Amino acid sequence: MQFNKEKRRKNIHYRIRRRLKGTAERPRLAIYRSNRDIYCQVIDDVAGHTIAAVSTRDKGAEKTGNKTEQAKVIGKLLGERLKSLNIDRVVFDRGGYLYHGRVKALADGAREAGLNF
């Protein structure tokens, strides 16, 4: 069997998703990271809909600095949007990625904006 990074990440993601469920009171903050951009969604799994979504491709997000700094800005922007919706607690779904680099920067930015997880 050949080594495949994407398949390995998907297996880790499925293992994480077995334990995490987002509710209306505490939705799930899901992250997807591509080579160029980072995307995050806040999802209510019980109702099956997305409450808020932010990415580096949005018009409100400026593309200044390196990708880690951009991820931190996205985290802050998401935290501000959720504060306006009166949501302050989420379940963090790292999407099978290591909690390091851009994923950690996004989480730190969201915590600075007032989210608890």
**Contact predicate 62/73, CB 8 Å:** yes
The per-residue pLDDT string of the chain (117 residues; one tens digit each, 9 = 90 and over) reads 578 999 999 999 999 999 989 998 999 999 999 999 999 999 999 999 999 999 999 987 878 899 999 999 999 999 999 999 999 999 999 999 999 999 999 999 999 999 999
Total-model pTM? 0.90
Fold type of domain 5-112:
Nucleotidyltransferase; domain 5 (3.30.420)
- Tell me the C-alpha to C-alpha distance, in Å, between residue 97 and each of 7, 45, 61, 85, 104: 12, 20, 22, 27, 10
Question: What pLDDT is stored for residue 60 in this prediction?
Answer: 77
